Structures are given as C-alpha cells and as structure tokens.
Chain A
C-alpha cells in the first residue's frame, strides 16, 4: 500500500526496490531486440569490427535491400500472409462450428466427440510430422501452399477454448431464439457469435501468432524458395549469406518479428489472456 506522502527514505526504497528491478526486467527483454534493430541499420564495416559502437555511425537501409535481393523476401512475406490468413480464418470457423455443436446441439455421442478433441489437444504436432509428410507428399502437396496449410487445419485448441466459453453463456439466450423459430445457423451467427466476440478474438489472435511463427512443418514440406514462408526463408538467408553478414540477417529477422510485434502491441491484452487461459482458477 502506498503511503499518501512518501518520506525521502521511502522514496529511495521505492526506487531501489521497485523501479530498479522493474527497469532491469524490461531492459533484459528490450536490449537484445534493440540490438537487432540497431545492427540491421549498420553497414558491414561497422559490424565486422572489434570496436563496438552502439549507434550506427552511418545508418543505412542497405541490409534490407540485400536481404530482399539475395532471397525472394517479398514472396516469403506474401506466402506467410496467405498461409496465416487462410489457415487462421478456416481454423477459427471450424472451432466456432464445432464448439457450437458440442454445446448447443443434441447429439447422442457428444461426450465421445469431445473426448476425441480433448485427447488431440495432448498429441504434440511434431510427432505427426513424418506420417503427415508422407501423406501430403503422396497427395502432391509438396511445395504447395495448401500442403503447408492443410495438416494444421483441424483445431482442438480453438474448439476447446470456445466450448468452455459457450458453456458459460446463459441458456435462456438460445432458448428464446429457439422459441422464435430461429434455426441453429441463425442462432449461432445472430446470437452466440456476437456475444462471444472477445473470446473469438482471443482464439483468432493466438491462432494468427502460431501460424505466422510455425516452423517445423513448412521447413519439411517445402524446399522451393517460391513457396517458403518467412521463418523458413530466413533460414535460407542464413545459409546464403553465412553468419558473417550479420547486418543482413538482423534486417531479415526484424522483418519476421515486426508484424507479430505490431499485432501484439495493439492487441496484447487479448493475446495474453488467451495464452494464459486456464492457468488461474476463478
């Protein structure tokens, strides 16, 4: 509890015990990211040197140009946007439909279906990488965008989260619409979805962040640069430039990180609540 008028001693204690650790925590996260941003603007001569200068002496966007020209970065970006957009939209739709069915539609084997989804939540996607690789290859999905998107579309996580939310909605809400003769489709889109927007937004954001950062599956299923997503393309940049071209690599890394950082900065409350959902009782 803060005292109304802090004494000088209390003020010092507050600065040393309160603000100093707070600043250190933020700096610990901030400094590496700032270092990446600063380095991305340094010409090679300022990076390949043993005299460290923190700020770029001759700031340049040359590293960005090199990153863009040595690998098809714009293509990577576009692929990532397509994969993320298509994947997220379908996943959220499937989650909404399944969760609605699990909560509001009568079905004799509802429990069994729910258990199937619950168990799927526990299967790490990495274990299915090899069999999925063989199946998608057989279907002709190697080096295609749908080959990247398809295996990840089934969503246990989104379904689970939305189902738990739908269960908390008052039943009278749907019953009134039922009496009025609205069918399930109408009830879903005109009543349930509008009142559930915050939760749907959370599921959507978490899905977007995951799709954007997804690495192991696109890495395995794609080796054609024209189909690569950004994280995989960044690996290609690392291979083509070698570790010495740090400025170029920092520029590339920044281009991968910034879109999510912007989304996060704007909507962090939803993302944090979504990712930490279920951690605390009440």
Chain B
C-alpha cells in the first residue's frame, strides 16, 4: 500500500497553524484568551521558568521523530538530486560530475517518450477507472438495503491487502494456459493471448489489477461524500420533480466535486508511486515501466546506474511536488459547494 492519502486534506476541523501569540492552537480553546490579566512580577518569573522547561520538554518529545524525518526524508531528497548530476555506477568508488547529462540523456533518449507515456497512461487510466467505478459502487452502497455494511468492507478489503499477494493471484488468473481467463476464452473457441508477456497487453492488465485494488478506496470516500450530503436539498429537488438522472447531474455530482478533487489528487499520487503490483506481474517492466519502476530498474536491476536512476526519481519528485502544490492551493481556497 502506498502512503495514506492525508496530504493536508480538506476539511480538517482545526486550523493548520497555531496562534503564535499564545503558543496555543488558535480557536481551539473555549473562552476568551486575550482577557487582560493583572500581572505581578512573581507570576512573571514563574512563567519564564516554565517556558524554559517547556522548551526542553518540547525538544525531548519531538526531537527523535524530527531527527528521523530529517535524516531519512529530507537528507535523501537532497542527496538524490546531487547523485543525479553524477555519472556513477552503484558500488563503484568513483563518480564523475556530469552536470545535466543524465537529464539530457533521459529526455532526448529513446526511453523518455515510452516511460513518460507509460506513466501517463497508467496513472490516468487507474485514477479515472477506479474513480468512475468507485463512484458507481458508492451509489450502490448508498442504498437502504440489507448487507450494505458487509459489502462496504468487502469492497474496501483489497486496498489493505499486500500488493505482492494480489499481483500473484491475478497473474494466475491471466495465465495463458492454466488461467481462468484462458479457460473462459476456450469456451468460446478463442485462444488466449499472452496477457502479461506481450508488452502491448501487459500495461492494460496491470492497470486493471491496480484499478481493482483501488476502487474500494474511491467507493468508500465517495460514499462518505454521499452520506454527508444535505438530505434537504435532495428532498427539495424531488418535490420540484427532478428525475433521478437530473438529480445526479445537477445536484449530486456538483456537491461531490470537492470529494472528486480530493480523490483525483490522492489517487494520482498513489498511482505515480505504484510499485509492488508492477514488479510482481512484470518483473522486467515489459511495457509497464513507469517512472518509479524505471528508477528502480536502473539502480537495482541489471544496470546499477545510480546517477541516471537518481535523475529519473528527481523527475518523478518534481511531478509529485507539482501535484501536491496544486492540491494545497485548492485547499487554501477552500472551495466547497455545501
């Protein structure tokens, strides 16, 4: 599973930054905080003592986590960019500065077009597919029927399961001789193509599996959006004679647009970071080499090209950063329809 999509999501009840004046979170404490107090010097001293103690308490509580984050998240980010300017074989003691050569090589070489288009196709297809299917399933789950609670968790389950395990199951289903899919085709007298070994088909199959794994997440998030929808608005439109379709297009989808935006961003981030299913189903990256997978192959596959791999993952990081900034800007504006 990729990192949970909480990236500064919309709708957090508390403000992002605390009030610096009081050092306490703004607006979270009941009652006026700014009331004038009679301050005597003794109070003042006690307070500064307490402040100094708080300083050390803060460090003791937060520093271990902070150091780990700086060491294993920030440092590598910068180191990765430095490596990307090197011609360097993993394991070799020597490296030469080559400036932008790795980037030039990537973008002008034969790989870039294929890798970028594979990444784009995989990302857009998985995001679009799991969102459309997820929305449809959310409507199914939103009905007042027996068994929806069970169905809800059943549909969500693949999202928490190991991508390695899931990849293997689908690899078996797609087996051109012994797989269920091949058997099914035989019933119609058709012979099975090499779903996974054929680079032209592999990307489609891997994409389908990824959609299958993720659609439950989209369904559950959409369901939450549907359930928080104002019933008054829906009832009013029913009274006005709006048909089901009309309601869907004119009321429900617009009301769901913040959810749709949230999902499109989080799903896109997670698709760009997809690894386990791709690696299990197509270990050589036949037709399925996305940016992340290519960065892995270049450094840890057959080539050990550390500098080149670092350049590719820097490209990936820039893309991820751009998407995140887009999301933050949107959240700042707090566009909501209800």
Stretch at the interface among B22-30, B36-44, B114-122, B199-207: B22-30
A234 on the interface (CB 8 Å rule)? yes
B residues 285-332 in Cβ contact with A at 8 Å? 292, 295-296, 299-300, 306, 309-310, 313-314, 316-317, 320-321, 324
B321 to chain A, nearest CB (A): 7
- Taking CB as reference atom, which chain B residue is nearest A101? B61
> In whole angstroms, what is the CA distance A250 to B12 when docked?
41
> In whole angstroms, what is the CA distance A36 to B217 when docked?
22
Contact A22–B141 (Cβ < 8 Å): yes
Stretch at the interface among B97-105, B123-131, B245-253, B258-266: B258-266
> In whole angstroms, what is the CA distance A253 to B29 when docked?
50
Binary contact track A165-185/B, C-beta < 8 Å → 1, others 0: 001111110000000000010
B62 on the interface (CB 8 Å rule)? yes
B257 on the interface (CB 8 Å rule)? no
* Secondary structure of the B contact surface, majority rule: helix
Known: A2-B144, A124-B273. A110 touches B23 (CB 8 A): yes
Q: Which single member of A18, A157, A160, A235 contacts B145 (CB below 8 Å)?
A: A18
B residues 58-112 in Cβ contact with A at 8 Å? 58, 61-62, 64-77, 79-80, 83
- Using Cβ atoms and an 8 Å threshold, which residues of chain B touch A124? 3, 269, 272-273, 316-317, 320
- Taking CB as reference atom, which chain A residue is nearest B139? A21
Contact B69–A167 (Cβ < 8 Å): no
A29 to chain B, nearest CB (A): 5
Contact B162–A48 (Cβ < 8 Å): no
Chosen A-B contacts, 6 in total, with CB atoms closer than 8 Å, are A106-B23, A117-B69, A124-B317, A159-B65, A219-B279, A256-B164
Contact surface of B with A, Cβ cutoff 8 Å: 1, 3-18, 20, 23-25, 28-30, 50-51, 54-55, 57-58, 61-62, 64-77, 79-80, 83, 137, 140-141, 143-145, 147-148, 150-166, 168-173, 175, 177-178, 180, 183, 186, 212, 216-217, 219-221, 224-225, 228, 258-259, 262-263, 266, 269, 272-273, 275-276, 279-280, 292, 295-296, 299-300, 306, 309-310, 313-314, 316-317, 320-321, 324, 336, 338
